[in-house]
Structures are given as structure tokens and as C-alpha cells.
Structure 1
């Protein structure tokens, strides 16, 4: 049986998603659903432990760190950071140019590194011209570029999820499920978030 374009267009979004799930072959070599759930659980626990440790550590630092500190390897620290940022930006440019999926993590990481760069530049600048230059650089270059580098891949991921029938077009980004293989039986329609 072959469906016509008109028959597909007449389907509801849920019926189209169910059809897509039935037509997409199950890739081999993937972990079982039980293994995926176990990995997800332990990674979530690990992150929660990190959060639980980081909160008191941050309070401790806020109460005990001096206002002024002379740092070792100041030049090497910043040059190393800029080399890391440059590497991530180059990877992002290559990934975008060649339309490769590694553009998602490299662009996101580049954006986060730019946010960190702007924060540290502004917070460690001396008052006067140094602080003015850091603020202008942050507001006019680093923060807008970080927004583009972080928001772009997130929008593209959402577009791909809509395009491949994982979510409906009106689903908010924060409600997007992760499409886990074998999550649904062959004839079951995924729930609408």
C-alpha cells in the first residue's frame, strides 16, 4: 500500500508521528532501554550530588576569599583559555560549514566560553579605561555572539525534532523529549508533551 501526498497531508500530527516511528528502522548496536534508563538515573544522581556539594562550597568561598589576590601564571592562564576558545570557534565554523552534527556541542561550548570570558574580563578589570573596554567588549561582542552560538543549535535541534516527527510544532523547547530508541512499541504513538 502506498500513501499519497494528500492522504499524508490529511493525517493528524499524531498519526504522522506514528507513521514515522513505524517507518524508521531500529538501528542495531544500541543499548537496551533498561541500560539507557540506568545510565540516565546514575548521571542524574551524579549531577545532583555535584549541585549539593557546590552550594555550600560557593557559600564558603563567598565568605572566605580575599578581595585582592595575586595570581600565578596569569598570562599562561589567559592565553590557554583563548586557545581553547579559538579551538572551539574553529570547530564550530568547520562544523557549520560542512553541516556536521558536532556543530551542536562545539557552538554551545563556544558560547559558554564567551560568557565566561566576558564575566572574568569585567570582574577582574581595573576601574577606568580597562573596565570600560571590558564592558564594551562584553556588551557589543561577547554576549551577543554567545547568544547566537547557544541559541542557534538549540533552535536547530528543535527544528529537527519537529521535522522528524518527534514533537509537534507548538511544543516548547523545555518540553522536548529525548528520542530514545525502542521507547515506543512499533505501533504506539508517542505521548504529546
Structure 2
């Protein structure tokens, strides 16, 4: 039986190629750029707008923490990316606090805030995000008719048209009504799996 690919799937494949080119190109560019900066940047420099830079960063951090807390209270899957964003910003905050205060009297406070505040909270957010992602994968794995344990998070492929075509292989026989029902439930209206995980969490 011939398989037709929806135009949106073709568009997604094109976007994937563009993304791969841009990300890979950025990696190739940044490696020599870092080497250049390491020998060209001065070790000290006076700058203006120091207060605006830090206040602006803290505003972004507060916003990320607020969005993370909001989606955690509402038990939404979008908590996962927000938790990762917030954890990353917290690590950046700790890094710049320590490095920029290295030769100042404020170093002890930067180390203290990083050790008991920013880094533990970042670790907690990363752990929670990974744990919820793992639960989502396990639930989706069961809903699509797979037997046995779900694969590790690092080995799960992105959800694409090809993945759904593979799911169809689970129920190619018309008599496998239950298999097709599981696939339909997983596809649902776009958030069926998220609703089930949300209800069980």
C-alpha cells in the first residue's frame, strides 16, 4: 500500500534540515571564536550600564522562575522546558557572580548564594524535568502498544511523521482493533498523553 506524506510533514523535514545546518554551523563557528576571544580579550575592563545588565538578567530569571512555578502549580507538561530554562539561567547566574566577584570582598557571598541557592535549585529543576519527561515517555510507550520497559530518555527519537508510520506497523492487520485503538488514543487531539500523565501525577 502506498503511503502519502502530508505537506506539513515535508515542511517539518525541511525545517529539520535548516535547523541542523544552522546549529552545526554555529558549533563550527564558535570553536575558533572562543579560541580568538581567549587571547584577545583583556582581563579587566570598565563598563557602563553595569546595573542595567544585572537588573535585566535578574528580571529574566524572575520571569523564568515565575513561569516554572505557574506551570508546576497547574500541572502542565510545559513545565519541563521552563524548568530547564530556569535551571540554565540559575547556573549562568552563579557562574557570573563568582567569576566577576573573584577579586572582590563580595566573593564569599557569591559562593554562598551559589552553594545553597542557585546550584541546588538548578539541580532540583533539572531532576524534576528529566523525571517528568521519563514518566511521559513511559506512558506514551504503553499507550502505543509497546511491551516491556520504555527506552532511556537519551535514546528516544523525536516525534515525527516517520515515527507515526512506524506505529502503524503495530496494527497493520485489520483485526488488531486494540492496537489501533491504542495508537488512536496516543495521537488523540494532540494532548491525550499529556492529559493522562497530568491526571496521574
Quickly name the TM-score band, shorter chain normalised: 0.7 to 0.9
In the TM superposition, what is the alpha-carbon distance from 1:171 to its structure 2 partner? 2.1
Q: Which has the higher helix share?
A: 2
Rate the CA distance shift 1:135–1:185 in 2: closer, same or farther, 3 A. Answer: closer
In structure 2, how many angstroms separate the alpha carbons of the residues matched to 1:175 and 1:35?
24
Q: CA deviation at 1:128?
A: 5.8
Alignment length (residue pairs): 161
Of 13, 32, 42, the residue aligned with 1:66 is 42
Partner residue, 1:188: 169
Match for residue 149 of structure 2 among 169, 174, 183: 169
Q: C-alpha separation between the residues in 2 aligned to 1:113 and 1:42?
A: 27
How far did residue 149 of structure 1 move?
1.5
Encode CA deviations 1:74-106: one digit per residue, 9 max, x unaligned.
Answer: 001101100100001001100000112321222
Cα displacement (A) at 1:172 = 2.2
Task: Give CA deviations for 1:99-124 in whole Å, capped at 9, x if unaligned.
Answer: 12321222111111001000000000
Whether 2:98 is the aligned partner of 1:117: answer no
- TM-score w.r.t. structure 1 length? 0.75
Greater shift, 101-110 or 123-132, is seen at: 123-132
After the TM superposition, which residues 10-159 of structure 1 pair with which residues of structure 2 at under 5 Å, given as runs?
31-32=8-9, 34-127=10-103, 129-159=105-135
Question: Hey, what's the Cα distance between the residues in 1 that align with 2:131 and 2:102?
Answer: 38
Contact 2:91–2:119, Cα closer than 8 Å, also in 1? yes
Q: Which stretch has the larger CA shift, 89-98 or 168-177?
A: 168-177
Cross-structure match for 1:178: 158
Task: Give the number of the structure with larger relative contact order, counting CA–CA contacts within 8 Å between residues 6 or more apart.
Answer: 1
